[in-house]
């Protein structure tokens, strides 16, 4: 049935939104900040920290980018007020990256400044390869001003990542390392799953060796096991595992049971549909579940 699941995953845009919303609810904390707070509080009770993400990307209007910045300021203040153990993660295209680099820097700097004031932290998420240079440039500028309050993301499937990690290691940057999810040309990205895993472990070893605080973001059993080997003798304060809300809870629990710190990415907001489609396409088994709900007449 796996081939059927994959076919369904590619045709999900034709699925009625109410069905997608119900099936993808496991991946999303809700549409409101209050719902996200409840999810984070539950994760905190379970011994996990969180990263809040206000869903949205690729805005084309300045006013919308500024509203996104305000939403993150509100999220940071709510985290502080509710005494939650949570950071925030932002996509720079939501902050106007494709409108104007300086506008994006201005909005993002205000968010990072507020995080610094509140003793919190901002992760600059990584998007498709058209954003990589500008994202790393904004990170560099912010890191000069707020070295302890901002971090970035590196995707192991991009062939350029070895050089990017070399520069980030020299900066002692805080880096979240993931495989990468965007469809990229073979000229710039590894396609073979084992090549991506090998790249991931090489990058992880370099980051840890350079003393960079590293978020080991993966749900891949082979990478988790590889990370365990690389972490042997490493200060537990130098890294954390990171996973997505609703994905592989048993693996998540096993990481906790082995005594490692774990952070869960908690997305929320009104722009849930595009995020849901991406998550479902990444997980064809869940896409197959969507098909079964349709055939059973459920919505």
Residue pLDDT tens, the chain, 299 long: 455 445 555 555 666 677 667 767 778 899 999 999 999 999 999 999 999 999 999 999 999 999 999 999 999 999 999 999 999 999 999 999 999 999 999 999 999 999 999 999 999 999 999 999 999 999 999 999 999 999 999 999 999 999 999 999 999 999 999 999 888 999 999 999 999 999 999 999 999 999 999 999 999 999 999 999 999 999 999 999 999 998 899 999 999 999 999 999 999 998 777 776 766 666 555 555 445 544 455 44
258 CB-near residues (< 8 Å, 6+ apart): 228
What the chain holds in terms of domains, given with CATH numbers, is 1-28+271-299 (no CATH), 33-268 (3.20.20.220)
DSSP conformation letters of the chain: -HHHHHHHHHTGGGS-HHHHHHHGGGG---SSHHHHHHHHHHHHHTT-EEEEEE------SHHHHHHHHHHHHHHHHHHHHHT--EEEEE-GGGGTTTT-HHHHHHHHHHHHHHHHHTT--EEE---SGGGHHHHHHHHHHHHHH-TTTEEEEEETTBTTHHHHHHHHHHHT--EEEE---S---TTTB--SHHHHHHHHHHHHHHHHHTT--EEEE---HHHHHHHHHHHTT--GGGEEEEEETTS-HHHHHHHHHTT--EEEEEEESS-HHHHHHHHHHH-HHHHHHHHHHHHTT--
CA distance 70 to 73: 5
Q: Has this prediction a pTM greater than 0.85?
A: yes
**Cβ-proximal residues to 260 (8 Å cutoff; 6+ apart), any chain:** 231, 236, 240, 241
The whole-angstrom separation of Cα 268 and Cα 92 is: 17
**Active site amino acids:** 125, 176
């Amino acid at each position: 049935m796996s081939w059927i699941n994959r076919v369904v995953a590619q045709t999900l845009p034709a699925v009625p939104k109410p069905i997608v919303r119900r099936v993808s609810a496991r991946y999303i904390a809700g549409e409101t900040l209050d719902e996200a707070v409840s999810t984070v509080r539950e994760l905190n009770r379970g011994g996990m920290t969180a990263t809040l993400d206000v869903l949205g990307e690729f805005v084309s209007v300045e006013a919308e980018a500024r509203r996104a910045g305000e939403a993150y300021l509100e999220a940071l203040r709510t985290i502080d007020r509710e005494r939650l153990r949570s950071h925030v993660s932002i996509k720079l295209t939501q902050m106007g990256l494709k409108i104007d680099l300086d506008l994006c820097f201005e909005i993002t700097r205000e968010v990072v400044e507020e995080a610094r004031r509140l003793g919190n932290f901002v992760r600059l998420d990584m998007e498709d390869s058209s954003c990589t240079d500008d994202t790393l440039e904004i990170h560099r500028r912010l890191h000069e001003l707020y070295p302890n309050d901002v971090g970035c993301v590196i995707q192991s499937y991009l062939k350029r990542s070895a050089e990017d990690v070399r520069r980030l290691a020299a900066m002692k940057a805080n880096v979240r390392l993931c495989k990468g999810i965007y469809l990229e040309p073979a000229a710039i990205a590894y396609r073979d799953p084992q090549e991506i895993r090998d790249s991931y472990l090489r990058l992880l070893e370099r980051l840890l060796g350079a003393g960079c605080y590293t978020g080991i973001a993966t749900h891949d059993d082979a990478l988790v096991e590889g990370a365990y080997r690389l972490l042997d003798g490493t200060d537990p304060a130098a890294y954390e595992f990171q996973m997505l809300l609703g994905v592989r809870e048993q693996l998540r629990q096993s990481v906790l049971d082995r005594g490692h710190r774990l952070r869960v990415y908690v997305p929320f907001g009104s722009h849930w549909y595009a995020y849901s489609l991406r998550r479902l396409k990444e997980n064809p088994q869940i896409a197959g579940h969507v098909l079964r709900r349709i055939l059973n007449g459920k919505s």
